Structure 1
Amino acid sequence: MKLSSLLLSCALLLPLSLPVAQAQSPFLAQPQLDLPRATLQAGRQQISVQLAETPLQRQIGLMHRRQMPGNEGMLFVFEQPGVQCFWMKNTLLPLTAAFLDDAGRIVNLADMQPQSEQQHCSAKPVRYVLEMNQGWFRQHGLRAGMRLKHPVFDAALAPAGR
């Protein structure tokens, strides 16, 4: 085989290997910033949240973010209630997770440290988890039993058949 043919064969194979490596690592240290948004009401505070609704969006979450504005967060939306557990691998910000039931009521809060693999779980089955900068809930006087407001939470409170 001529050297030029060998080089051409190698050149054709090289680009084929790059997408495989990228496919094995979907995160590539990039924060997800283009998710749909919603506004929640927490007491007198409005919170702008990104919605993590798919399994991949929930898996990436707030990984690789270096900062997040004070009244912003991420709302993880699950199809059905379940005990939800979170960890902070590849997450650079200290966060607090609020585990919320179907009606938007805070079941429990968990402070989470950056880049930790420690599990933080809901005290009972929940459908939503809201992550905010650590201390945000405390600063605004929000604790377990209090309810956040959004039309999707209100629907859970409506009587059946309505």
Structure 2
Amino acid sequence: MRRGSINTALAPASLVLGAAALALALSLSLLRSDDSAQAVEFGRISATVIPPDGPRRDLCLLHAETPRQIQRGLMGVTDRALGGCDGMAFTFSADTTGPFWMRNTPLPLSIAYFDAKGRLVSTADMKPCGDHPRCPLYPPAREYRLAVEAPRGQLPGLGIVPGARLVLGERGCDPGPRLTRTAGA
């Protein structure tokens, strides 16, 4: 045997063992990150609704802007007062037509979709749905850039009516108390 041939023969085995250890460590870290998804926090953002008739309305909205926040939304929330906020704003970096759904969302909600210029696209009332993948989908009438969810029936009281526009502020707003979620949500 030549010198170094043993190391060369063992190299593929050590690479396989190293790759397996790396894969195991990565899998464990992903499991931990799934557990932390239970603790998604949301910022708050001010907004102004400009209805076609009537006074402007200043809102304080929970703000979902990261993919994890957008995916989580109001799942598990039971507090109809939304911790003192008027609703939740979902902001996207590009126009989308993706529908919303109510999986694991016990609170009945209404949704309003707005285009990139803040013009109301469409609204829908959404029914609670349990923990199963066959929950109804609520698509917009056309592309949108921003969506606002509020407890069902409250959109008109927020000034969100046909012809309304929504302008997001660049500042936060009074956060109020924390949201209440159901256990395990």
Same fold (TM over 0.5): yes
Shift of 1:26: 4.8
Q: Which residue of 1 aligns with 2:126?
A: 112
Q: Which residue of 1 aligns with 2:101?
A: 87
Query: Structure 1 pair 150/97, CA: closer, same or farther in 2 (3 Å)?
Result: same
In structure 2, runs of 5+ residues without a counterpart are 1-24, 171-185
TM-score (norm 2): 0.62
Q: Deviations over 1:24-57 (max 9, x none)?
A: 45544x5x4x322111122433221121111111
Q: Which residue of 1 aligns with 2:45?
A: 38
Matched, 1:51 2:63: yes
Distance 1:70 1:46 in 2: 14
Which of residues 139, 147, 171 in structure 2 aligns to 1:129?
Answer: 147
Distance 1:140 1:61 in 2: 19
Distance 2:148 2:113 in 1: 7
Structure with bigger RCO (C-alpha 8 Å, 6+ apart): 2
Query: Structure 1 pair 38/140, CA: closer, same or farther in 2 (3 Å)?
Result: closer
TM-score (norm 1): 0.70
Query: Structure 1 pair 142/77, CA: closer, same or farther in 2 (3 Å)?
Result: closer
Larger Rg: 2
In structure 1, runs of 5+ residues without a counterpart are 1-15, 153-162
Percent of aligned pairs with the same amino acid: 32
Distance 1:79 1:149 in 2: 15
* C-alpha contact (below 8 Å) 1:88/1:118 kept by paired residues: yes
RMSD, aligned CA: 2.5
Q: Which residue of 2 aligns with 1:74?
A: 88
Q: Which amino acid aligns with 1:106?
A: L
Q: Deviations over 1:99-155 (max 9, x none)?
A: 000111110001001126100011111110111111111345532331123357xxx
Q: Which residue of 1 aligns with 2:8?
A: none
* C-alpha contact (below 8 Å) 1:81/1:126 kept by paired residues: yes
* C-alpha contact (below 8 Å) 2:62/2:85 kept by paired residues: no
